[in-house]
Amino acid sequence: MASTAFPSRDDFAALLNDSLGGEDGGFEGRVVKGTITAIENDLAVIDVGLKSEGRVPLREFAMPGQKADLKVGDEVEVYVDRVENAHGEAMLSRDRARREAAWDKLESEFTENARVEGVIFGRVKGGFTVDLDGAVAFLPGSQVDIRPVRDVTPLMDIPQPFQILKMDRRRGNIVVSRRAILEETRAEQRSGLIQTLHEGQVIEGVVKNITDYGAFVDLGGIDGLLHVTDLSYKRINHPNEMINIGDTVRVQIIRINRDTQRISLGMKQLESDPWEGASAKYPVGAKLSGRVTNITEYGAFVELEAGIEGLVHVSEMSWTKKNVHPGKIVSTSQEVDVIVLEVDEDKRRISLGLKQAQSNPWDSFAEKHPVGSVVEGEVKNATEFGLFIGLDGDVDGMVHMSDIAWGISGEDALNLHRKGEAVQAIVLDIDTEKERISLGMKQLERGAPAAGSAGASSSSGLNKNAITTVTVLEVRDGGLEVQAGEDGATGFIKRSDLGRDRDEQRPDRFQVGQKFDAMVIGFDRAKKPNFSVKALQIAEEKQAVAQYGSSDSGASLGDILGEALKAKNEG
């Protein structure tokens, strides 16, 4: 009793500790209820049952962007940080109290994957800060909206739902998403809206975004793709040539994939198809005017009317320019005349010809320069088989190596001329269908028969296998140039046709002016005769055997030829 009536210093300390909840004060680190006893300036004085009161800033009792509505006598919850500071006051915090209570609630909602309500109240690097009723969370910039948002000001300081993506109470980290809520809401709206739509339906929408390949149209909660090829029947290089973001457009639903919730839209389907009746509008052979819209390596596209284009293949672009890129013949937006070559209405294809709308230079050349005409031109190219000569009308003619010069091989004749050299030639043949002109240069030499004449056989009386006396005009390494009779046609005897024996096949054993007999063995392309002594010898031998000997007579070949020669001399 004495100890109770007269407590010692230690007893008093123990009683005080019990009243405060233990040696550490009990209150510290806990959320307790207190009463506001006074409001001084921006501070609320709160009594929580300790030996001293604490002060808490009024802003801690207000939501972001709002003012605290407190008065003396109100009961509030605060967090006791310390029972007594250096000034003998209790250290209290309303923010910590709200945060502790909020964390308990948020952990429960995060476990249940439930939505939470918060307020965006600040900006930080990479995102924003959100107040979740006392707990501060991080909202990444990518999680603000479904699409990038340039200005977040309208979304700040207003309560709105969020989804917790990650929580770590020990570190005090919370990551939330506003985008997840919007996507979930939109998915619900899309599922409901897509059930009301059907293919072929005509509906209005607003253009939300434009890309190189098309535009996305908002149909009232669900987007559809309007591909660039479905904007118009005419060629469209970019969707912004017809529509802009924010435009209200009338479209038709082409396809709906309810599994992926993708919708394909079209605008040209609401217009009349220009390809209907194209065969009647563009008959084969018709001459039309159009505009070049696109140039490729294989040709050029020409627009005949809005929505109808035809292809001019590179092979139908020019009569004379071969293996040339179409861009060197026509240019984009150029107006050209074309001829319809073929129409396939089902495949929506029209084949056009550009060169057919122009005069054929091969026909024009044939009219101006018939066979036998002498033409002049420049050697454009030398090949292993002849020379190509540039002629009037931008056409080329070819001189085969056998028609370059008399008495020498074709290879040697090719070496006589160079690219760029101006030459004369005679027209031997013209094939306008195959676009070929055959020329001859040796036919212009002295004594050569005119091209296109009836031929050496009719003009000179010479026929194949005929035997005639020829006069040597010129001795060459390759043979002899000779003339039949006094003023007959000139021809050539090859070295190998000068005799049967190799000793006889030497041109140097002949002299200019020398006369001897030879046989006509053929004519070249210019109807010029070719002679042969060798063929004459073989023919005479056969004739002698037939006339003066037989297989069983026992006479030798020398006897037979001797008799034949004697008979010839006597005759």
User: How high is the pLDDT of residue 191?
Assistant: 73
User: How high is the pLDDT of residue 352?
Assistant: 92
**What residue has token string 């008093």?**
12
Instruction: Name the CATH superfamily housing domain 26-97.
Output: Nucleic acid-binding proteins (2.40.50.140)
Handedness of CA 278, 282, 285, 291 (dihedral sign): negative
Three-state secondary-structure class, residue 322: coil
**Segments of the chain scoring below 50 in pLDDT:** 1-4, 13, 16, 20-25, 450-459, 551-554, 571
User: How high is the pLDDT of residue 451?
Assistant: 46
Beta bridge partners of 116: 162
Number of H helices, E strands in the chain: 10, 30
Domain spanning 460-546: CATH 2.40.50.140: yes
- SS3 annotation, 165-190: EEEECCCCEEEEECHHHHHHHHHHHH
Return the number of other C-beta atoms located less than 10 Å from residue 139's C-beta: 27
User: How high is the pLDDT of residue 87?
Assistant: 61
Per residue in 422-474, pLDDT tens?
888 999 888 888 888 899 888 887 555 544 443 334 345 677 788 888 998 88
Sheet with 91-93, strands from edge to edge, namely 54-57, 43-47, 31-40, 75-82, 91-93
For the entire predicted model, the pTM comes to 0.43
Q: Max Cα separation, the chain?
A: 193
Q: Which fold has domain 197-270?
A: OB fold (Dihydrolipoamide Acetyltransferase, E2P) (2.40.50)
Handedness of CA 187, 193, 195, 201 (dihedral sign): negative
Torsion from C-alpha of 10, 15, 17, 18, nearest 10 degrees: 140
The secondary element (H helix, E strand) that includes residue 289 is strand 287-296
Per residue in 184-196, pLDDT tens?
877 777 777 777 7
Boundaries of every domain in the chain: 26-97, 113-183, 197-270, 282-357, 361-444, 460-546
Class assignment of domain 113-183? mainly beta
- What are the structure tokens assigned to 51, written together? 């030996």
Query: Looking at domain 282-357, which CATH architecture does it have?
Result: Beta Barrel (2.40)
Instruction: Name the CATH superfamily housing domain 361-444.
Output: Nucleic acid-binding proteins (2.40.50.140)
| Fold match, 197-270 / 361-444 | yes
Distance CA 388, CA 397 (A): 6
User: How high is the pLDDT of residue 61?
Assistant: 73
Q: Are strands 479-484 and 436-440 parallel, antiparallel or unpaired?
A: unpaired
